[in-house]
Amino acid sequence: MKRKLFHQFSAPSNLAMILLMVFPLVYAVFLSLNFVTFRNITSPEFVGMANYRYILSDPDFWRAFRFSLIIIVFTVPVHICLGFIMALFLDQVSLAVRGLLMSMMLLPFIVVPVVGTVMFRQLFEVGGIMSYLYQQVFSQPFVFTPMSVKVLVIFHLIWYVTPYPIVVFFAGLQTLPEEHLEAATVDGASRIQQIRFIVIPHLKPLLLMIMMILIMDMYRMFDSILVMTKQNPLFQAENLMMYNYRIGMSVQRLGRANTTAVLTVIGILVVLIPFLRLQYRNKTGKG
């Protein structure tokens, strides 16, 4: 395909992305330097770096940042380990059973995130199965506290996102070099050794990619936390996205909210840039 034709074909899509994604980002940077509320939405007032100074010295911002990091640290390793184990196990069962099990496992990931959270939360509310079991085991009722809500958020994110690494690792397992495994079996390598020395090295690029995607997805998680905390400030379970949402929609300081958005974008670049470089190398074939 010629270059000119390529650009003609991809023009509508590129136009949509530039107009609807690049332009708003630039506009967000502009708004972040202004004082904007609902009153002066069409005539922003330039204030320079004042919004940045305010946000960066707001203890709530740093608490949200900490919770964002906590979410990543407690969920991503579990996603990956659980996903890998389940994929290995799924690889062992017969085709008919596998389809059914996979459908059931996929459900949390495919359902509307808000709905999944509502359902998960209901288990722990008064009259739910989990709150009943909790009462039986600890002989005190389950209460939503700042601590327990944070734990629930993490549990929910594990329930919700694990299907994704399961499916990807399972697909990766189907591309294993069979002859290596056979050679290893002949040499008397145990199953654990096979996994350690053949399967994991083979899946390493995939593992790295999934890890980066999961970190970025957990970082920008929003729906789940909103429903789990019901936006109750008492729980102090805001991550950066929730903080951003509150500044914009509840406090209605649009300038400051855009500042927060710009800061969160800068934050994600730490993972995004290595990820994009990795992808670029994969695509261009430079090892």
Partner 1 sequence: MTPVKHPLAKTGIYAVLILFSIYSVIPFFWAILQSLKTVRQAFARTPLFFFTPTAQNYTNLWFTSTPENFWALGMIIVGTAVTFILLLMVSKKYAVPKSLLIAGIIIILAAALILIPRMMNMAEFYNYFVNSVIITVGVVVISMTIGSVSGYAIARYTGIDSIIILIAALGFRALPRMAFALPYYSLGLATGLYDTYWIVILVLVAANQPFTIWMMSAFFADIPKELEEAASIDGLAPFPAFIRVIIPSAWPGILSTGLFSMLLAYHEFLLVRVLTQSKWTLPVAIVQFTGGEAPGHVTLAAAAAVSTTIPIVLIIIFFQKHLVKGLTGGSVKG
Nearer to partner 1 among residue 114 and residue 147 (C-beta): 114
Binding track over 39-68 against partner 1, x by CB under 8 A: --xx--------------------------
Q: Which one of residues 49, 53, 62, 125 is an interface residue with partner 1 (CB under 8 A)?
A: 125
Burial tier of 36 (Cβ tally within 10 Å: 0-12, 13-18, 19+): buried
Give the dihedral of Cα atoms 256, 257, 262, 265; nearest 10 deg: 150
**Which 157-186 residues touch partner 1, going by CB under 8 A?**
159, 163-164, 167-168, 171-176, 181-182, 185
For residue 139, state whether it binds partner 1 (rule: CB under 8 A): no
For 71-102, letters b (16+ CB in 10 Å) and e give bbebbbebbbebbbebbbebeeeeeeeeeeeb
**Which 22-41 residues touch partner 1, going by CB under 8 A?**
24-25, 27-28, 31, 36, 41
For residue 270, state whether it binds partner 1 (rule: CB under 8 A): no
Nearer to partner 1 among residue 62 and residue 135 (C-beta): 135
Whole-angstrom distance, CA of residue 221 vs CA of residue 72 = 10
User: Minimum distance between the CB of residue 135 and partner 1, rounded to whole angstroms?
Assistant: 8
For residue 197, state whether it binds partner 1 (rule: CB under 8 A): no
Burial tier of 27 (Cβ tally within 10 Å: 0-12, 13-18, 19+): exposed
Tokens of 285: 């074939």
Q: Could you tell me the CA-to-CA distances from 230 to 138, 220, 227 in Å, in that order?
A: 25, 18, 5
For residue 88, state whether it binds partner 1 (rule: CB under 8 A): yes
Tokens of 140: 């005190």
User: Minimum distance between the CB of residue 80 and partner 1, rounded to whole angstroms?
Assistant: 14
**Which 218-237 residues touch partner 1, going by CB under 8 A?**
219-220, 222-223, 226-227, 230-231
Amino acid identity of 264? T
For residue 69, state whether it binds partner 1 (rule: CB under 8 A): no
For residue 120, state whether it binds partner 1 (rule: CB under 8 A): yes
